[in-house]
Chain A
């Protein structure tokens, strides 16, 4: 186990360096955008005079490197500063929204992960049957369509034609948990449809790959029923690639929901990020992007640890 803790420590340290590099890249990308924040805030009515006044008020008269170092100084003490446009704390600005995104992602994950893995096992069992073909075609169709299109289709049937679920997922305070689940069902379902194919097909491929191994042959010759061969003998050895794919998809659920948020008007972090970029609001962009980056780093780490834990050969290296 000591090895694993050491690995986690090393990877976390590496993660911090990656975050630092990312923050530099983001800062200078935002700097490279044409136009500036004062122009974006004042719009058409801007004159040279009040642009200058606003730039000064926002501290944009200082050189870029000074502004970055100031921000970095705050960030190492976990103070992400204030939004330049609204002068609100970045943490309050995106805190709630990030929780909303996290909720939607977990909602979708709780449905999608078991669904995809069970479906993967079943199609591996019934490989090359009609069921296998149909399941593959359906999931591949849903992953190949853009999310917003899937969202519109679901809205058309579930909200407009059958009136089963609300078309927009506006949240309000004091909503009961069940009301919340109902309100956010359609965006969650959209995300489920988008991520299922990848996980299901990886499960199927990993299991089928193992079915040619001698020990599976042995199990079969013993007279073990086919479902038991797969669940008891093949699946434990197939976990590593499956966990990797699941982790990637979980990261996608958090970072890739912008379009789904727009279609269902869900107040998540994606919308805040898009607005912040269009206004060149650097502290908000920076904080959102770092959250996304940290999500990827942590989930990748979790995938590696999971793969090691499920594989005795990796757990006890020679």
Chain B
């Protein structure tokens, strides 16, 4: 390019193309005048003019992690195949929107009493199962009760322990009562186990039939192989642009990527980080790299020397070069941690907290303040914690040398790491799965009396705020509380958080998506089939 392109004019043109108020011919003419090359202008036209979703086509998805022994039982959902499929043929009460906010699925509206201990959910009267039966409060009660009670075999049982009663109030209203206030309940109901299935006569859940009220109905399929679905006409939400949907289990990373390259599938749920850079070179493929709420943590026991001194803890946090770790260990597919366990993919994320950077000099002076000339610590880790766990610790050890800290990496056996090393050794590396809200995460691993308080951190103010925030229904007040808690954890806590791992998946360029991607699961929060569409 010889001319410098005019970004404002190009934006305006793209807007006009999106609205359809400009023809392709004059679009190209003006774009070239604005300094774009012909190929760039063609690309922009395609992208902008296709921003409006259109119906049609068969969308084929290749997914990882599917077994032939999977079942329709929502209580035992564990593989990605079950989770992705569940979001197509079944519905939930609430869902996470692409922008990360909480939105309606089957429930159009929800409200709580003053202390958030009784919640009322209004159901969408237009929602129907694929069999034609309307979705009523009886179905919702049966579906949620599937995860409660003494003989429930559900893995989601722990999630609903504080629920004392679930009852119907007419056909379209469900009332959930809890032991104590829980402002997060509507968020918890997005959990992938809590899918709504039809009720049997006797009030139990009929999960066996595979009937649901999701955007696509199952035509045919086999666990561990593939599923064929077609659009559920009259779905209660906006979307489901594809006529047909095919979901293939492609467990082998190579098979998955090859199928995407050759066009056998239109999108895949996971790509190999080591080769993602090569895949990005293919002009027919778009790689998505979406920050998630899954985290790598390195907890230190706050009641054990030398970590009982906050200056030592902060020196160890400053001695880490997170950028280098993300570049070399996660191949760029991670979001920088800031030493509080609250990812940008979670609600109430405080964005104005300054990022902690690598600063060996300041780390040195903090050590001096704590009365140490030099420091030697042991970090325990294992290969199975996550791919690159041992390498990350070795890299950290090199970085910490600059700050006069000698970090010895002790490699533990994979078997029994979480029973024999984690919560037993004073400094370890840990991998955490995504949790939907900061409350769930903090209650699980940062509350002073939590079983999994991995850093043995005791902070009175933090615990006070945690309990207050749990039942606080005013979102702004809540966000303010979580901000203060984040600052406390960052500046006083005993956990180094190097990074939050990203979801890395890919689609063919002729598949269009909305402006943002939900961060709850791969493939736009597992809802790509109802949110994406084919370019014309």
Contact = CB atoms under 8 A, between A and B. Distances in A.
Interface of A: 41-47, 49-50, 53-54, 57, 83, 85-87, 93, 96, 152, 155, 159-160, 163, 166-168, 170, 172-173, 262-265, 267, 271-272, 275-276, 278-279, 281, 284
Contacts of A263: 252, 254-255
Given A42-B153, A275-B68, 6 more contacts: A86-B69, A93-B68, A167-B259, A168-B248, A168-B250, A272-B224
A43 B67 contact: no
A264 B71 CA distance: 24
Contact of B255 (A86, A167, A173): A167
Interface string B66-85: 01111100001010000000
A155 B255 CA distance: 9
B155 interface: yes
B220 interface: yes
Interface string B137-174: 00000000000001111111110000000000000000
A160 B78 contact: no
Interface residues of B, number: 36
A83 B255 CA distance: 28
What are the nearest 6 A-B pairs in CB distance? Answer: A45-B155, A54-B153, A267-B225, A167-B258, A43-B78, A275-B67
Given A47-B158, A50-B154, A279-B69, A42 B76 contact: yes
Interface in B342-392: none
Nearest to B159: A45
Given A53-B152, A86-B71, A272-B224, A264 B76 contact: no
B153 A53 contact: yes
Contacts of A45: 78, 155-158
Contacts of A49: 150, 157
B222 interface: yes
A163 B261 CA distance: 11
B283 to A, nearest CB: 15
A42 B78 contact: yes
Contacts of A152: 254
Contacts of B157: 45, 47, 49-50
B453 interface: no
A265 B153 contact: no
19 contacts: A44-B433, A45-B155, A47-B158, A49-B150, A50-B153, A50-B157, A86-B69, A86-B70, A168-B259, A262-B251, A265-B249, A265-B250, A265-B251, A267-B226, A271-B68, A271-B224, A275-B69, A276-B68, A278-B67
B228 to A, nearest CB: 8
B150 A53 contact: yes
A275 B224 CA distance: 9
Contacts of A53: 150-153
Instruction: Specify the main secondary structure of chain A where it touches its partner.
Output: helix
Interface of B: 67-71, 76, 78, 150-158, 220, 222-226, 228, 248-252, 254-255, 258-259, 261-262, 264, 433
Nearest to A37: B69
A237 to B, nearest CB: 46
B260 to A, nearest CB: 10
A42 B155 contact: yes
Contacts of A278: 67
Nearest to B156: A45
Contacts of B68: 93, 271-272, 275-276
A86 B73 CA distance: 9
A166 B264 contact: yes
Nearest to B153: A54
Contact of B155 (A46, A168, A275): A46
Contacts of B154: 50
Nearest to A41: B76
B226 A163 contact: no
A236 to B, nearest CB: 45
Contacts of A276: 68-69
A43 B155 contact: yes
A168 B69 CA distance: 21
A266 to B, nearest CB: 9
A167 B155 contact: no
A284 to B, nearest CB: 8
Most buried by A among B228, B251, B262, B433: B262
Contacts of B220: 173
B71 A168 contact: no
A94 to B, nearest CB: 9
A95 B447 CA distance: 52
A152 B70 CA distance: 28
Among A57, A152, A272, residue most surrounded by chain B Cβ atoms (within 10 Å):
A272
A152 to B, nearest CB: 6
Contacts of A83: 69
Given A152-B254, A173-B220, A275-B67, A50 B152 contact: yes
Contacts of A44: 78, 155, 433
Contact of B258 (A160, A279, A281): A160
B406 to A, nearest CB: 35
